Structure 1
Amino acid sequence: MRNILRIDTSAQQERSLTRALGDIFEDRWQSLRPEDPWQRHDLALDPPVHVGSAWIAAAFTPEDRRSADQQDLLSASDRMIGELAAADLIVITVPMYNYGPPSTLKAWIDNVVRKDRTFSFDLTRGDWPLEPVLSGKELVVLTACGEFGFGPGGPRDGMDHLLPHLDTVRHYLGAETMHVVRIEYQEFGDDRHRTSLKAARDEAGALAGRLAARTRPSLQGEAR
């Protein structure tokens, strides 16, 4: 079996395009691999705490020296790291807000990218003292934006601060690869948006099919 962690981030529930992409991906995956367990965390309904000075002090206090209050402060972070560590595939549904991630997703990242839990720190490594602890995972990002042309050479090239951020931190999530499906033109609501929406829906299902099918040979080999 493969364990899937689904992180939903849109503040919208019923009208969310990214949640809908997540449902398409999940439905397709489950049609192929119904035995695989899913862990779901809705950051809009269960938002992580934003990192503050007390949280930082607790995280950088050696575990055997933390007070009961510090342990309690880090308990939600410990739970989220446990969810992440158990996952083979991470599926994040995330809209672009003001050219970046929703604050809840940034808070989740800050809670799970943590010294001695998901990365080690050693100055003997020179200018690259941070090293990921987790590995072997894949990251799927299902996203939507109101505008368009954020890719290389596009009219808004360099204005996307969502996907580059996720691509930078994915190593500390244990993800060696990142797959992206994006809806564009949402604010325009014209034929371009409808075309982009259909293409993204088709690609979300197709991506789930490709990733789910890719796991089958090794699992069949184990069964024998």
Structure 2
Amino acid sequence: MMTLLHIDASARPGRSDRQAHGSHTRRLSARFVERWRAARPGDAYVYRDVGRQPPPPVSGEWIHAAFTPPVQREPWMRKVLAGSDALVDELIDADLIVAGVPMYNFGVPAAFKAYIDQVVRVGRTFGFDHSRKGAPYWPLLDDRPRRLVILGARGDFGYADRLRAMNHVEDAIRTAFGYIGITEVHAVAVEYDEFGGEALARSLAQAEADVDRLVERLCEAVRSPLVRTS
């Protein structure tokens, strides 16, 4: 049995296939999860909506608490880190993370950046020792295979080529998650949101088809894991 962690980061409520002004990323992430759970009904499922319930931004108190060794933390420090601990625990338990993350002004929504800041955490998801020669930082979530699926939406088009230098979504997420040890990343995105009409409809249809194929590929991959020989 696997654990699927489903995260939505859009500020828009609802799904664009059900509401006139619903979210495309919520639509894609829901589609992925529905098909995954139909294929693998025994897998555990956890949902986190950071778009509607964003984590708090990192504060000075948070930094002080996070960089204090656990055995030395005062009660107020444990309280400050309680929300982060819950998010980190979910991420550690997950085998597959499906994140609906739209592009806001060329980057991730502030709510998802706050999520990243809460889970990329010293002593929990990455290690640090300044006396360690060559590699003072190291990932802690590379202990087993974990996969990340990023499902995006963009107002313009061509962010994979024409506007590649202006796309700070997928690369930023890959960097943060790769830093803590999650390096297998898959991405699908809708474009033409600001254009609407046939261009958006074609992009949505293509993205949904890509999501369906990705579910099939990943389901097959987890059914046929690599066999280790001694």
TM-score range (shorter-chain normalised) is over 0.9
For 2:216, give the aligned amino acid: G
Please give the secondary structure, in 2, of the residue aligned with 1:194.
helix
Q: Does 1:147 align with 2:156?
A: yes
Is the 8 Å Cα contact of residues 174 and 183 (structure 2) preserved in structure 1? no
Higher relative contact order, chain-length normalized (CA < 8 Å, sep 6+): 1
Q: Work out which of the residue numbers 184, 189, 193 in structure 1 matches 2:191.
A: 184
Q: Work out which of the residue numbers 150, 160, 163 in structure 1 matches 2:167.
A: 160
2:17 alignment counterpart: none
Is the 8 Å Cα contact of residues 133 and 172 (structure 1) preserved in structure 2? no
Please give the secondary structure, in 2, of the residue aligned with 1:215.
helix
Following superposition, the deviation at residue 148 of structure 1 comes to 1.1
Once the two structures are superposed, what CA deviation does each residue of 1:129-174 show, in whole Å capped at 9, x if it has no partner?
Answer: 21100122110000000011112xx321200111110111122443
For 2:6, give the aligned amino acid: R
Report the TM-score when normalising by structure 1. 0.92
Is the 8 Å Cα contact of residues 138 and 180 (structure 2) preserved in structure 1? no
Following superposition, the deviation at residue 126 of structure 1 comes to 4.7
* Percent identity for Structure 1 against Structure 2: 40
Q: Which runs of 4+ in 1 moved over 6 A?
A: none
**1: distance between equivalents of 2:180 and 2:97?**
9
Q: Does 1:206 align with 2:213?
A: yes
Aligned length: 218
2:24 alignment counterpart: 17
Please give the secondary structure, in 2, of the residue aligned with 1:206.
helix
Q: Does 1:27 align with 2:1?
A: no
Following superposition, the deviation at residue 176 of structure 1 comes to 2.2
Q: Please, what is the CA RMSD of the aligned residues?
A: 1.7
Once the two structures are superposed, what CA deviation does each residue of 1:28-75 show, in whole Å capped at 9, x if it has no partner?
Answer: 111110100111100023211100111100101111111111100000
1:93 alignment counterpart: 100
1:138 alignment counterpart: 147
**1: distance between equivalents of 2:57 and 2:211?**
31
1:106 alignment counterpart: 113
* Long gaps (5+) in structure 2: 15-21
